[in-house]
Structure 1
Amino acid sequence: MTEQSETPGLDLAVFRRWYDAERPGEIGGELRASVIAGGRSNLTYEVTDGERWWIVRRPPLGHVQATAHDMGREYTAMSALVPTDVPVPTTYAHCDDPDVLGAPFYVMERVEGTAYRRAKQLAALGPERTAAIGGRLVDVLATLHQVDPAAVGLGELGRAEGFLERQVRRWGQQLEGSKTRENPDADELHRRLTARVPAGDDADARRYDGIVHGDYRLDNVLTGADDQIKAVVDWEMATLGDTRTDVALMLVYDTLASLPSAGLVSDVSTAPGYPGTDELLSRYAAAVGRDLGDMGFHLGLAYFKLAVILEGINFRFQQGKTVGEGFDQIGAGFDPLIAAGLDALGKD
C-alpha cells in the first residue's frame, strides 16, 4: 500500500506505523493528507483514510526551539479541557520523540467549522449573525477563564505569580533580538510597562489568575454553520496568569484591523455588526461576574506584544527568510501599535 501526500514534514508511512502502534485498528485504507492553510506558526495537516479524519499538528520545518512551538503544551491544555464547557477538539495521541517526524507532534479530531479571518466572510452572514458570533467569542473566553486550573489537572501549566513582570521582560528581550531599527518610542513603552507592572501578590490581583490562552481571537476558534463556537485551537502559548491579558490582546487584534498590516492577521472587527470594544468588555465582565478594573496596563502590554511579533516577522522578511505575499507591509504596523500602547498607558 502506497501512502500519498504532498505534505513536507509529514511522512505518512512513518506516521501510520507510529499511530497504528498508539491506537491499533483506527486507520483503515490508504492515507492521504493536505496542509490546512491559515496558520503562520505551527503546521497543521488534515489526514484521511477515506472514512475517518485526523488533524496532525507539528512545529514549522527546520525549527529547533521546542519551547516556542510547544506541542506538549497544546496537547496537555486541550486534553485537560475536554471534560469542561470550553469547546476544544478531542485529542488522540502525542509524540514527543523528534525522530519520528523530525519534531514533536500530536493528533486530534477534525472539527467542522470556519476560522473567520476576513470581514467579507462575516459580511456575507449579515450584521445580526456577525454580532452573535462576536458575542459568543467573548462568552467562550469567559468560560475558559472561570475554569479552575487545578481541578482539571492544569495546575502546573504555568506560574501565575510574577506572570506580568515576566511577560514585560520577555517581550522586551524579543524586541532586542529582532530590531530592524532603533525606535525610542518602543523603548519608552517598554520602560513604562516595566515601571507599572501591577502588584501580583495581593488578593485583588490574584482574583484574575486563571488559564490564559495567549493568542485568543476569532480566527483561532472554529465556528459552526449554526454560528456556535465548536472549538478553540492554537494553544501553544497557553499558561497560567492574569486572564485580562487575553481580553486585552483580543481587543488589540481588533484595532490592528485598521492598520496597513491587517492583511497578515485579521480584519473581522470591521465587518458590519461586529461588537465594539465597550460592548465586548461589558459582555465579558458580566459573564465572569467581576469588574476588570483599569485595563490601561494590559492594553499597553498587548500593543507592545503584538508590535514585537510584527517586528520579528519584519526582521525575518528583511533577511529573506520569510516566503509569501504581503510581508513587505508588516513593518508598517509597528509604529502605530507602539503609539497606541503609549496612549493606552496614559501619562505617568
Structure 2
Amino acid sequence: MSHLPGLDLTRLAGWLAAERRLSARLIAGGRSNLTYEISDGERAWVLRRPPVGPVPATAHDVAREYRVMAALAGTAVPVPAVHALCTDDSVIGAPFYLMEKVDGTPFRSAAQLAPLGPERVRRISLRLVDTLVALHDIDPAAVGLADFGRADGFLPRQVRRWSAQLAASPGRDLPPAEELRSLLESNVPAQSSPGIVHGDYRLDNVLVDSTDRPAAVVDWEMATIGDPLTDLALLIAYQKLSRLPGGELVTDAASAPGYLTEEEVRSRYRSRGGRDPVHFGFHLGLACYKLAAIVEGIHHRHLRGQTVGAGLPGIGALTGPLLEIGLAALKEDG
C-alpha cells in the first residue's frame, strides 16, 4: 500500500473490512480538506479529511460537510452520494468520510476552460449561477437542516469569525485588515431571509459533466444557515481574485473568454429568482476579507510545513490586494 500524507491505507482497509488491496491518490490538498481517490481495483470512492497539522477549531468539519450533502440528496442541487462517516481519529489520524466518485471536471484555471470556446464557457458559467439560485431556494427545514446554523446575527458573526482567522495567522503587518474590519463592523446591513450557504461557492467546487452541466457541488466544509448573498458575493470576489497577479494559485477560471462578467453574474442571479443584492458593497467587502483570511492562513501553514499539495509558495502575496478590493467595495457602497 502506498503512503500518502494524512492517509494510513492499512488502518483504513481495516476499518472498511476491505477484502482487496487499497490504493489511493491525492486529488486536492493544502487549501482545504484533503481529498483522496480510494480504490480496491473494482470500485472507487472519494475520501475527505481535514488538513495535516493544527487547524482552526471551527474549520474543516467533515461531519458537517457529510450532513449537508446527505440532506441535499434528491434536491435540485446535485451532490455526491455519501457512504460513511468516521469520527474516530485513531483510524487515519482525523475524522473523515467516504462519498461517491462523480465523473466531472472541477475547472480551476482559464487554461482548462479556454479550449472549450467562449460559447461553452458562457453556458457553464450560466449554469453555475443557476445552481447557486437553486441552492438558495431550498427551505433548510424541508431537508432537515433547520438547526444547521444560527441565522440570527449571521453577518456580524462572520466579521468576527474572519477577524479571528486573520489573528490566528500572525507574523505580518497588514494595515488594510484593521481598516476593513472596522468598516465591516460599522456597516452591517439587514440580512436577507435565511437559506443554505455553501460558503466557498466557485467553479472548481463544482464538477462539470461532458454536457457542460453541474454533475455535483462539492467542498461543503464551510456550509451553514445564514445570508445566501454571501455566496453570491464570494463568487464575484473570486472573479476579482482571478485577475490579480498570482490569482491562478487559487483559481483564475473566471478570466476565461466567455465567462460571465461580474454584472452578468448578478443579473443572472436576480433574473432566475435569486435574492436582490442590496448593500452588495458590504457583502463583497466581507467576501474579500474572508478570502484574505483564508489565503493568509494557507500562507501561514505553508511557511510552517503544515500543508500538502503544490502551488502554495507565493500565495501570501494575494492577501494585501484582496483587502484593498474589499475596502474599495465598502467605500463605494457607502
TM-score bin (small chain): over 0.9
Mapped to 2, the partners of 1:5 and 1:98 lie a distance apart of 20
| Aligned counterparts, 1:88-127, within 5 A | 88-127=79-118
- What is the DSSP-based 3-state SS (H/G/I as helix, E as strand, rest coil) of the residue aligned with 1:231? strand
Contact between 2:197 and 2:226, CA under 8 Å: does it hold in 1? Answer: yes
Contact between 1:180 and 1:311, CA under 8 Å: does it hold in 2? Answer: no
- The Cα shift of 1:312 comes to 2.2
- The Cα shift of 1:323 comes to 6.6
Tell me, yes or no, if structure 1 residue 86 matches structure 2 residue 63. Answer: no
Mapped to 1, the partners of 2:42 and 2:305 lie a distance apart of 41
329-338 or 131-140: bigger deviation: 329-338
Mapped to 2, the partners of 1:113 and 1:28 lie a distance apart of 28
Contact between 1:131 and 1:275, CA under 8 Å: does it hold in 2? Answer: yes
Q: Where does residue 14 of structure 1 map in the other structure? A: 11
Q: Where does residue 139 of structure 2 map in the other structure? A: 148
Contact between 1:256 and 1:267, CA under 8 Å: does it hold in 2? Answer: yes
Within the candidate set 300, 310, 318, 1:333 is matched to 318
Assess, with a 3 A threshold, how the Cα gap between structure 1 residues 170 and 67 changes in structure 2: closer, same or farther: closer
Q: Where does residue 159 of structure 1 map in the other structure? A: 150
Aligned length: 333
Mapped to 2, the partners of 1:239 and 1:252 lie a distance apart of 19
303-312 or 251-260: bigger deviation: 303-312
Within the candidate set 45, 57, 62, 2:53 is matched to 62
Contact between 1:58 and 1:71, CA under 8 Å: does it hold in 2? Answer: yes
Report sequence identity in percent: 56
Contact between 1:224 and 1:230, CA under 8 Å: does it hold in 2? Answer: yes
What per-residue deviation string (whole Å, max 9, x for no partner) do you get for residues 252-307 of structure 1?
00110111231210111111101101111111111225422221100010111111
Mapped to 2, the partners of 1:48 and 1:328 lie a distance apart of 31
Q: Using CA pairs below 8 Å that are at least 6 residues apart, which structure has the higher relative contact order?
A: 2
Assess, with a 3 A threshold, how the Cα gap between structure 1 residues 110 and 324 changes in structure 2: closer, same or farther: closer
Mapped to 2, the partners of 1:263 and 1:289 lie a distance apart of 29
58-67 or 121-130: bigger deviation: 58-67
| Aligned counterparts, 1:165-176, within 5 A | 165-176=156-167
Mapped to 2, the partners of 1:133 and 1:38 lie a distance apart of 25
Aligned structure 1 segments of 4 or more residues deviating by more than 6 angstroms: none
Assess, with a 3 A threshold, how the Cα gap between structure 1 residues 281 and 341 changes in structure 2: closer, same or farther: same
7-16 or 335-344: bigger deviation: 7-16
Q: Where does residue 207 of structure 2 map in the other structure? A: 222
- What is the DSSP-based 3-state SS (H/G/I as helix, E as strand, rest coil) of the residue aligned with 2:265? helix
Q: Where does residue 219 of structure 2 map in the other structure? A: 234
Mapped to 2, the partners of 1:327 and 1:87 lie a distance apart of 30
305-314 or 129-138: bigger deviation: 305-314
Q: Which letter maps to 1:189?
A: L
Q: Where does residue 24 of structure 1 map in the other structure? A: none
Mapped to 1, the partners of 2:79 and 2:323 lie a distance apart of 33
Mapped to 2, the partners of 1:163 and 1:334 lie a distance apart of 24
Tell which structure's C-alpha radius of gyration is larger: 1
Mapped to 1, the partners of 2:90 and 2:292 lie a distance apart of 35
Within the candidate set 47, 71, 79, 2:38 is matched to 47
- The Cα shift of 1:314 comes to 2.8
Within the candidate set 231, 237, 241, 1:256 is matched to 241
Q: Where does residue 305 of structure 1 map in the other structure? A: 290
Mapped to 2, the partners of 1:105 and 1:324 lie a distance apart of 18
Q: Where does residue 277 of structure 1 map in the other structure? A: 262
Q: Where does residue 23 of structure 1 map in the other structure? A: none
Mapped to 2, the partners of 1:44 and 1:263 lie a distance apart of 20
Structure-2-length-normalised TM-score: 0.93
Contact between 2:52 and 2:307, CA under 8 Å: does it hold in 1? Answer: no
Q: Which letter maps to 1:335?
A: G
CA RMSD of aligned residues (A): 2.0
